[in-house]
Amino acid sequence: MFELKKYGLRALAAAGISAAIMLAGASAQASHWRGGSIAWTPSAVAANTIDFTVTSFWRRSFFGAPNLGDPINLFGSDGTLSFGDGATVNVSANSSVTTVFAANDWIGVTSTATHTYGVAGPFTAIYANNDCCRIGSLQNNAGGAFELHSVVNLGMGSSPNAGSSSPIFLVPDGGIQMFNPFSLSDPDGGPHGFALATATEAGSGFANPLNLSINALTGDISWDTDTTSGGNAQVGDLFSLSMIVTDPTGNTAPLDIILQVCDSQVQGCGGFQGVVSEPGTLAGLGIGLVGLAAIRRRRKMVA
C-alpha cells in the first residue's frame, strides 16, 4: 500500500537526515492535490444511511508509481471525510487508483465511505485539508488549502454527480472563451443550478480566476483569458476553478478542477485532458482525447 506522509523540513534537519531524504520530505510537504468531487446516494442497508464517493486527484510520483487498481493510503487529514454531524472517517481503507496519466504525473483516486445519520439534517459533508495544499504552479491559490462541500438532505434523493475522470480542463488562449466542464448524472433529474464556489466552500483564501463567470442555469462558463488573474494568460498557465451544482431538492455536489491554457492553433486544444480509466489496458500512456460533449460545447466568442 502506498502511504502519504508529511514531514517538516526543520524536523528532518534536526534529526540529521541526509540531504536526499530532506528533499523527499520537502516533496511530501509540498503541494500535490489537483482537484476532486463528492457524490452520494442513499444506502439500501438502513434508513438515514448514505454511501459517499470521493474522487480526488494527486501527483502520482508522490506515492511512488501506482497503477490502476492499486490501493492508496491518504494519510492523515488528506484522507478525512467529515459527515457534518460531528463524525469523521479516514477513507484510506477504501481508496484505490481509478485513473492514471503518467505523462503528466497524476492519478485519480476513488474513495468510498458509508455513514448513518441520527436525524434528517440537512448536513454538509466536507472533504478537506486546510494545511496543505493545491499545487504551487497555479496562477491563483498556489499552495492553498482545499475543501469539497456537499449538502446532504436525507429523504430527498441523491446528490448530483459532477465528477470527471480528469482534473485538467484545456482552455484555448486569446480572449473570451466559452466552455462547459460538467458531465452530470443525477438519478433524481433536474433542473440543476450552478455557482462558483466561495472561499468557505473551496478552502481558506480561495479565489476563482478573475473575469470568469458561470451561467446559473446551464453551467456554461465565460472566461476572458486576456484579463484574468495575473493579467494576460499564457499558454501552459494553470488556474484552479471550484464550482457547486445544486439539484431541485437542495442537495449539492462540488467540482474542483484545474484550467490549463492551451494554444488555440493546436489540434486537441479544448476539453478535459485525456486519461485511461478503469476498465482498460493502456494505463499510463497519457493518450490525449477530447470527448464529443466537450467538442460540441466549446465555442469561441468574438469580442
Q: Beta strand 80-82 with 193-196: parallel, antiparallel or unpaired?
A: unpaired
Contact 259, 38 (CB under 8 A): no
Q: Where do the domains of the chain lie, and which CATH numbers do they carry?
A: 31-300 (2.60.40.60)
How far CA 276 is from CA of 64, 80, 283, 287, in Å, comes to: 18, 27, 5, 7
pLDDT at 75 (0 to 100): 67
Of 38, 238, 28, nearest in space to 132 by CA: 28
3-state secondary structure the chain: CEECCCCCHHHHHHCCCCHHHHHHHHHHHCCCEEEEEEEEEECCCCCCEEEEEEEEEEEHHHHCCCCCCCEEECCHHHHEEECCCCCEEEHHHHEEEEEEEHHHCEEEEEEEEEEECCCCCCEEEEEEECCCCECCCECCCCCCCEEEEEEECCCCCCCCECCCCCCEEEEECCCEEEECCCCCECCCCCCCEEEECCHHHHCCCCCCCCCEEECCCCCCEEEECCCECCECCCCCCEEEEEEEEECCCCCEEEEEEEEEEECCCCCCCCEECCCEECCCCCCCCCCCCCCHHHHHHCEECCC
Report d(CA 118, CA 120) in Å as an integer.
7
pLDDT at 251 (0 to 100): 92
pLDDT at 160 (0 to 100): 84
Backbone angles phi, psi at 26, to 5 degrees: -60, -40
How far CA 133 is from CA of 29, 83, 153, in Å, comes to: 8, 21, 29
Of 93, 45, 106, 73, nearest in space to 257 by CA: 106
pLDDT at 1 (0 to 100): 46
- All 3 cell numbers of residue 45? 442497508
Of 53, 50, 140, 58, nearest in space to 97 by CA: 58
Q: What is the pLDDT along the chain (303 residues), one digit of tens a residue?
A: 444 433 333 333 333 323 332 333 333 334 588 999 999 999 988 889 999 999 999 999 988 999 999 999 886 667 889 999 999 999 988 999 999 999 989 999 999 999 999 988 899 999 987 567 899 999 999 999 899 999 999 888 888 888 887 899 999 998 899 999 988 888 777 789 999 999 999 998 999 999 999 999 999 999 999 988 877 899 999 999 999 999 998 999 999 999 999 999 998 899 988 754 444 333 333 333 333 233 233 333 323
pLDDT at 156 (0 to 100): 80
> Residues for the chain: how many in total?
303
Contact 165, 227 (CB under 8 A): no
Residue 268: how many other CB atoms lie within 10 Å:
14
pTM listed for this prediction: 0.80
Contact 56, 168 (CB under 8 A): no
Cα–chain center distance at 225: 21
Cα–chain center distance at 12: 30
pLDDT at 284 (0 to 100): 34
